[in-house]
A and B are shown apart, each in its own frame.
Chain A
């Protein structure tokens, strides 16, 4: 509880920094910081697997991909020139924010055992994982066994992304 507030403040600060940074390379590094802070928040909330993925993909691989893309761009393309903020955004975005906060007030409390997400099918997974699959990590059991078809399609998506990149960039990948 003590750590949560500074982490959230730092999260908002890094997000704003990534948007407001003058050149794109600084923005990429600040975005990596943002992902790493977000990973710490996930770990604090108990979602260790999500934190792991966020740290490795968000702070690691995505940063490398961004930097590789920027390294081939010329210097005038990585500098950002900003125009004035349109007044529609100044009025519209606060309204959307208020609506979202109003909707968020109706969400079940964090860790509520009576919330729909905890009562429908997750008890079956939690109780059956060790007995049915000998896998103590329930997240892995759900991803790879109970919902393995979804994971298969996700793998197809990743494969397609690699193929598309290789096709777009021509003779890059063998």
Chain B
């Protein structure tokens, strides 16, 4: 288990940097269709910010509540991605052909736009959860395992 860091400088800076990093990650995720970035990079930035929270405050601290919550979402991102593909199937088209997303009031390019956005959110969720999960797996030492 990672111990909480006891330096005041690190903890104070962490409180400032982590929300900014998370905001930037969400910006990169949403802005990926108009500039560099996208689901993968946004997810990695979100994962990095949460790993930073674990390293600074420890895993069980109240400041890293998001980490313990997000670890239960393993596979949700993949479900979102495949689910969008399934919705296209239900809409009467091929798998992941966003033209067949049955959203009323949208023309075909807009449906593709929405499809890309949804799948990007799926990729970001998958990458973020996997990154945090790998980091926590790697940091678990023998003591953790033997003591349950």
Partner-B contacts on A (CB < 8 A): 48-49, 51-53, 56-57, 60-61, 64-65, 68-69, 71-72, 131-137, 139-141, 143-145, 148-149, 151-152, 155-156, 158-159, 161-163, 165-166, 168-174
Contacts and interface: CB of A to CB of B under 8 A. Distances in A.
Contacts of A52: 28, 36-37, 41
Interface of B: 28, 32-41, 44-45, 47-48, 51, 68, 71-72, 74-75, 77-78, 81-82, 85, 95-96, 98, 108-110, 112-113, 115-116, 119-120, 122-123, 126-127, 129-131, 133-141, 144-145, 148
B38 A144 contact: yes
* Nearest 3 interchain pairs by C-beta: A162-B130, A172-B137, A172-B140
A131 B109 contact: yes
Main secondary structure, interface of A, reads: helix
A49 B40 CA distance: 10
Given A61-B51, A65-B134, A149-B96, 15 more contacts: A56-B45, A60-B44, A134-B33, A136-B33, A140-B32, A148-B96, A152-B81, A155-B77, A159-B77, A165-B137, A166-B137, A168-B137, A172-B139, A173-B133, A173-B137
A103 to B, nearest CB: 31
Contacts of A48: 36
Given A145-B98, A165-B133, A166-B133, A151 B119 contact: yes
Contacts of B138: 65, 68-69, 72, 165, 169, 172
